[in-house]
Amino acid sequence: MIFRETSLKGAFEIEVNKIEDERGFFGRLWCENELKAHGLNVDIKQINVSFSKKKGTLRGLHFQKPPFQECKLIKCTKGAIFDVVVDLRPFSPTYKKWHGVELSGENQKMLYVPTDFAHGFITLEENTEVMFFVSQFYTPQAESGIKWNDDSINIKWPLKPKIISEKDSAFPDFSSFEINI
């Protein structure tokens, strides 16, 4: 696994280290030792998958509130997404900053989302499948989110979203969270 820390401390782009031969390649998606060596949480409580039929489907920006914070590793297994994390740690030098990266079945990149970050993505292709390795159980009462187009975060989404769930459209702006996280 190839680890590259992003400009947001603790958030990593991770690439599958492809060991190639005439059949194709083999690589690790998850290795407790390698993650630990980079100081990353290795508990996994759930492995989730989402499938989006249409290009331009936006999901996010999501996080779970304390004490049910989660970190997660995101892998696009089919199609492509623009994947985004937002630093919600009030004492961080990169508080409210975001980082985005294209993940695809083709490029074999993953994004490690630390706790106290919001996460979301937009699909860049039809029929896109995304897997999530998550360190916490889904806890509906702790579920929370920030509006995808919050002005103060100002994420440069690569395309205009066409499909967003009612729940995601109804999330408030970031300002309503600043005191609570």
Token duo for residue 6? 């992003």
Stretch that binds ligand TDO, among 4-12, 24-32, 101-109, 114-122 (CB under 6 A): 114-122
**How far is residue 100's CA from residue 158's CA, in Å, rounded to a whole number?**
10
**How far is residue 49's CA from residue 74's CA, in Å, rounded to a whole number?**
10
132 binds ligand TDO (CB under 6 A): yes
User: To the nearest whole angstrom, how small is the minimum distance from the Cβ of residue 80 to ligand TDO?
Assistant: 15
User: To the nearest whole angstrom, how small is the minimum distance from the Cβ of residue 27 to ligand TDO?
Assistant: 23
Judged by phi (left if over 0) then psi (alpha if -120 to 50, else beta), residue 32 lies in alpha
**How far is residue 172's CA from residue 181's CA, in Å, rounded to a whole number?**
14
Q: According to CB under 6 A, which one of 138, 158, 172, 175 is a site residue for ligand TDO?
A: 138
Query: What residues make contact with ligand TDO under the rule CB under 6 A?
Result: 46, 48, 50, 59-60, 62, 72, 119-121, 132, 138, 165, 167
